[in-house]
Amino acid sequence: MPVIRPFSLFVNRFEVATKGSYSVAAAVATQHVNSLFTDSTTVPIALTCYNNIKPKFDIFQAARIAHSSQTGSQAGNVQTITDMLKTTHVNVDSWATTIKVVYPAKSAQYKALFPKGVKTFNIGTQQNRVNAVSTLITSIGTDASLATVKATIQTYYTTLLAAFNNKGNAKTTTSTDSTALETARVNMFIEMEGNYGLLINACKAQPTLAAKYFDEPLLKNKLQMSFDLTVKPLATKKAIERKFTIPATQQIQVINNTDAILKVFLSATKKGTLGAVFVTVAANSSNTYNLADMGDNKTQKFLMVQNTNNLIKAPITIKVL
């Protein structure tokens, strides 16, 4: 079923308007925080709202900086984990050779450090191989006779762990969120929605007095109805049943992040089939179309999506502009 996120009295408008854009989130929240701070010494409700939002705003800003730093330190700055693990055996053999000088291979001390030999460093999942290096460092502990080799292993582990934590960054885009950043965004706007209620209550006789605490033009521009759905291979699926008034100039944005080519059309029924009038949406594209180009927008109230690919599912987003 489509996920409907319209502007509504019962939907968090701030979270909806900023979803997918941390720069917009930062702009909306910064204006709110700064305007509250300006009035915080003279308007009691402004101070209350400022104290509500400021801690969540600071967490969001910190998470945003951390996310930007992480995505900025991509392939050129940190070796990929795959490349490093390809040569791990060379390093492990060197460590083992050094340790054997102090503790012979058959000694209890050596076996305690390498209970399964060196295979745990060279085979298995990436996580397990990284853990094996960490375990070796822990096992050496404060053994002074192995202090030098431990330092070498620690240096390698620091680089290895950084590579592991940053794997995949080369494919990361600026719109890709981290769990921490997304959580911070949502929590911040939950607080902002609460502030909206407090401010409207304080200004209920004249609600426009609360307007200065919100970037209304930006929010109005961003808020829209958005529908997420997945269309199976060679299937046709209803995306929207238009129960709202739409003029002939209404536009629809289709965001297709898959390798499937889509056909979008209007239908008089929710099980309608493709006719002569439709728009073709290229793979991996985002395009805006006039509703009238998809069929008769006066009599056909169902917006349909057909996936022409016979192999892959097509998760897409449709926005009513």
Give me the pLDDT at residue 172, please: 47
Q: Where among 119, 145, 165 does a domain terminate?
A: 165
Q: What is the pLDDT of residues 146-192, one digit of tens each?
A: 999 999 999 888 888 887 776 654 444 444 457 888 999 999 999 99
Q: What is the pTM of this model?
A: 0.44
Using DSSP, state whether 73 is helix, strand or coil: coil
- CB-CB contact of 50 with 36 (8 Å): yes
Residue predicted with more confidence, 259 or 7: 259
Contacts of 80 (CB under 8 A, 6+ apart): 163, 167, 170
Percent of the chain residues past pLDDT 90, beyond the cut: 44
Judge if 238 and 308 occupy the same domain: yes
What is the radius of gyration, based on Cα positions, of the chain? Answer: 28
Judge if 236 and 313 occupy the same domain: yes
Percent of the chain residues past pLDDT 70, beyond the cut: 85
Q: Assess whether pLDDT exceeds 90 at residue 75.
A: no
Q: What is the pLDDT of residues 211-268, one digit of tens each?
A: 999 988 777 666 556 778 899 999 999 988 876 544 555 678 899 988 999 999 999 9
Task: Categorize the per-residue pLDDT at 209 as very low, low, confident or very high, splitting at 50, 70 and 90.
Answer: very high
Q: Assess whether pLDDT exceeds 60 at residue 271.
A: yes
Judge if 134 and 106 occupy the same domain: yes
For residue 261, being part of any structural domain is answered with yes
Q: Assess whether pLDDT exceeds 70 at residue 71.
A: no
Task: Give the sign of the dihedral formed by CA 289, CA 292, CA 297, CA 302.
Answer: negative
Which ranges in 73-178 belong to alpha helices (H)? 81-86, 88-102, 108-113, 119-122, 126-140, 147-165
Q: Assess whether pLDDT exceeds 80 at residue 18.
A: yes
Q: What is the mean pLDDT of the chain?
A: 83
What is the arithmetic mean of pLDDT over 54-68?
Answer: 86
Based on the structure, what is the number of domains in the chain?
Answer: 3
Judge if 179 and 63 occupy the same domain: yes
207 torsion bin: left (phi>0), alpha (psi -120 to 50), beta (else): alpha
Q: Which helix (DSSP H) or strand (DSSP E) does residue 25 occupy?
A: helix 22-39
Q: Which domain holds residue 193?
A: 3-73+175-222
Kindly report the CATH number assigned to the domain that includes residue 281. 2.60.120
Give me the pLDDT at residue 222, please: 62
- CB-CB contact of 99 with 111 (8 Å): no
What is the arithmetic mean of pLDDT over 26-47?
Answer: 93
Alpha carbon distance 159, 87 (integer Å): 13
Alpha carbon distance 270, 303 (integer Å): 8
Alpha carbon distance 307, 314 (integer Å): 7
Q: Assess whether pLDDT exceeds 60 at residue 7.
A: no
For residue 237, being part of any structural domain is answered with yes
